[in-house]
Structure formats: structure tokens, C-alpha cells
């Protein structure tokens, strides 16, 4: 976890909400200069910050409404720090909690160099990243509909589905397998939604692909040089990583991608691990999928997996392979090289 520890003359902590935000400004000595509740608009915030613009830093907890605040600070030339919501224990662990207390704690953590940082994703690629995440949401909804059709088939012991349900031609007459009119109507509703999801997802993939080649076509091409990483996984990794230089070491990248767990140690004794769900869930999914596809497309991958199984067992082997792919991707992006199977196997 990284902490913001730069020195400033004024420290502003904001407890941000949709309609209002509580603002607390501290001096370098800890004196409270401003502490009030205002509307969540740039016009309300700008005059409040105006007397302290020189030497000011602004911090807010990471929530879904931080985009406009980060963009406002960037436009005004004010340093902006995004607090990691899960790691801000001083806020969530207090006996009393309200907006006034939270804003004071954020400012205090910022002043003391103890504010855990989250990544402030720049606006140039941020909207496309969110669109990529939205596409994944639609894909999972489509999978739920396909699962409902299969479950309904099993409920009524209808004829088995031997073809791929993802094909429209296979789904076209799916309701005819059932005699009950209500069940047919339910299946027709699923098929109608599936057809619409197919169209929407295809359009999103085409649009995101064009945007990715405009943003960083070379990085996407290098990512797709890894066997098993195709268009979708490459786009996911590209937009979730954004700038590989923000990770000084490969270990930090692996931790961010949830590919490793951290040891819990006290008095020289390791009592277990922790932090399995701290990091980027989308990168975790992408590298887990990439490991499966890597095995499917390469014989060398199966050889590497067998070697891992000898040392660590079958339960951990696939996760370790995903970790190895994550490390390979780090070096591919940081060194501007393509994937090398010889180096990976070695």
C-alpha cells in the first residue's frame, strides 16, 4: 500500500457525496481553517479553495462520484489524492462516524502522510475502461440467460441441447421443446434478450477495439503476442493497467492484479495469508482466463503446468501459471517487447 507523504502548506479533506460534500482544510500545523458542508459542484468548491490555492492538496475517498472532483483539480492545477476506501481504517473503524468527522480524518491522514492512495485514472482512457467493464457486465447477464434456458430444459426433462446455445439459429426454436405455454413464453423472453445482448455486445467490442488502437495500438499488439490472450483479454489488461510505469517492480504489479497473497506475520511467526481480495478484480479475471487459454493453445504451457504440479500440487498449479503470465505481461509492457516462449519456459 502506498501512502501520500508530500509536504504542503494546506491540506484539504473532502467527504464526497452525490449532492453535498463536507470540506475540511488544515494548515501545516494542524489548525482547522475551513470546515463546512457545501454542494457537490465546482462552482461551490472553487471560492472555498481560492484563499488557499498556493500550496494546497486535495484528497477524497474513492467512490463512484470522484471523477468530476479529480478532473476539477487537474484543470485548476491542484494536486489531487484519491484515498483507498478499503484501507482507510481510521474512517471506518471510529466509534462515531459522520461527514464532519470523516472529512477531518481525511485531512488529518493527508497531513500526516498516512493516507493510502488509490490510482487516479486519467480521463483520456477512463471512459473507455468503464465501457469495457460495462461490456463484461452485459456478458455475465447473457451467461445468466443461457444458464436459465439450460436449467429449464433440465427441469422439464426436455430433449437435450446438443448444439451451441450462443448461436442464434440454435436458439430460434428453443421454446418448441416445451409443451406448457407459460414455459414457452419464458424461453422466448430469454431468447429475445439474448439476441439483443448479442447485438449490443458486438457493437461495444467493435467500438472499444477502434478506441484501443487509437490509444495504444502497439501495447495491444504486444499483449496479443501472448498465446491465450486475444482481443478481449488484451483490451481488459490494456485498460486496467493503463500505465505500467506506475508499478516500480513486478511484485507490485502481481499484487495489484491479485496474483499473490501477502503473509501475515507477527513476532517472527507466519500465521497465514491475507489480502487475497485487495487489488484489481478485472486483472485477476483476465489472467485466470489467460492461463486456461494458454494451456489450450500451447503444448509448452501444458509442460510448464506439469512442472508446477510436481512442486506445488494441482490445486495451486493454475494460479501459479496465471502469476507467471502476469509477470510476463509486466515485462512485455515495461520493456516494449513481444512474448518469448523460450524465456517463459526457461
Mean pLDDT value across the chain: 92
- pLDDT(107) > 80: yes
Average pLDDT, stretch 156-172?
89
Tens-place pLDDT, residues 19-48: 999 999 999 999 999 999 999 999 999 999
Domains identified in the chain and CATH numbers: 3-118 (3.30.420.40), 123-223 (no CATH), 240-345 (no CATH)
| CA atoms of 9 and 63, how far apart (whole Å) | 26
Task: Write down the pTM of the prediction.
Answer: 0.89
Nearest to 282 by CA among 139, 117, 122: 139
Burial (0-12, 13-18, 19+ Cβ within 10 Å), 257: buried
| CA atoms of 172 and 253, how far apart (whole Å) | 45
Q: What pLDDT shows up at residue 90?
A: 66
Nearest to 100 by CA among 182, 38, 27: 38
Q: What pLDDT shows up at residue 252?
A: 94
Tens-place pLDDT, residues 67-78: 999 999 999 999
| CA atoms of 210 and 204, how far apart (whole Å) | 10
Q: What is the DSSP letter of 120?
A: -
- The cell for 303 is 509442460
- pLDDT(275) > 80: no
DSSP helix/strand/coil, 59: strand
The 10 Å Cβ neighbour count of residue 177 is 17
Amino acid at each position: 500500500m502506498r501512502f501520500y507523504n508530500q509536504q504542503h502548506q494546506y491540506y484539504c479533506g473532502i467527504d464526497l457525496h452525490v449532492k453535498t460534500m463536507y470540506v475540511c482544510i488544515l494548515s501545516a500545523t494542524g489548525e482547522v481553517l475551513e470546515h463546512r458542508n457545501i454542494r457537490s459542484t465546482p462552482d461551490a468548491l472553487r471560492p472555498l479553495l481560492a484563499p488557499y490555492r498556493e500550496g494546497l492538496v486535495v484528497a477524497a475517498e474513492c467512490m463512484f462520484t470522484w471523477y468530476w472532483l479529480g478532473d476539477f483539480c487537474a484543470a485548476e492545477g491542484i494536486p489531487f489524492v484519491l484515498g483507498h476506501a478499503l484501507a482507510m481504517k481510521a474512517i471506518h473503524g471510529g466509534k462515531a462516524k459522520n461527514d464532519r468527522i470523516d472529512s477531518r480524518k481525511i485531512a488529518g491522514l493527508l497531513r500526516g502522510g498516512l493516507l493510502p492512495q488509490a490510482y487516479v485514472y486519467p480521463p483520456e482512457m477512463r471512459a473507455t475502461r468503464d465501457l469495457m467493464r460495462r461490456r463484461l457486465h452485459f456478458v455475465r447477464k447473457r451467461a445468466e440467460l443461457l444458464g436459465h434456458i439450460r436449467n429449464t430444459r433440465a427441469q422439464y426433462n426436455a430433449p437435450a441441447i446438443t448444439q451451441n446455445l450462443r448461436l442464434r439459429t440454435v436458439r430460434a426454436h428453443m421454446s418448441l421443446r416445451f409443451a406448457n405455454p407459460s414455459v414457452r413464453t419464458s424461453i422466448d423472453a430469454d431468447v429475445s434478450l439474448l439476441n439483443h445482448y448479442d447485438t449490443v455486445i458486438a457493437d461495444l467490442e467493435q467500438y472499444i477495439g477502434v478506441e484501443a488502437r487509437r490509444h495504444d495500438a502497439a501495447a495491444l499488439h504486444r499483449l496479443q503476442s501472448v498465446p491465450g490472450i486475444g482481443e478481449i483479454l488484451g483490451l481488459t489488461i490494456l485498460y486496467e493497467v493503463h500505465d505500467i510505469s506506475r508499478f516500480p517492480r513486478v511484485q507490485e504489479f502481481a499484487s495489484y492484479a491479485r496474483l499473490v497473497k501477502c503473509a501475515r506475520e507477527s513476532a517472527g511467526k507466519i500465521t497465514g495469508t491475507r489480502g487475497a481480495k485487495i487489488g484489481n478484480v478485472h486483472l485477476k479475471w483476465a489472467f485466470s482466463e489467460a492461463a486456461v487459454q494458454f494451456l489450450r493453445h500451447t503444448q509448452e504451457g501444458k509442460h510448464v503446468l506439469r512442472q508446477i504440479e510436481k512442486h506445488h500440487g494441482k490445486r495451486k498449479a493454475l494460479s501459479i501459471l496465471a502469476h507467471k503470465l502476469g509477470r510476463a505481461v509486466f515485462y512485455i509492457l515495461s520493456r516494449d517487447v513481444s512474448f518469448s516462449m523460450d524465456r517463459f519456459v526457461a
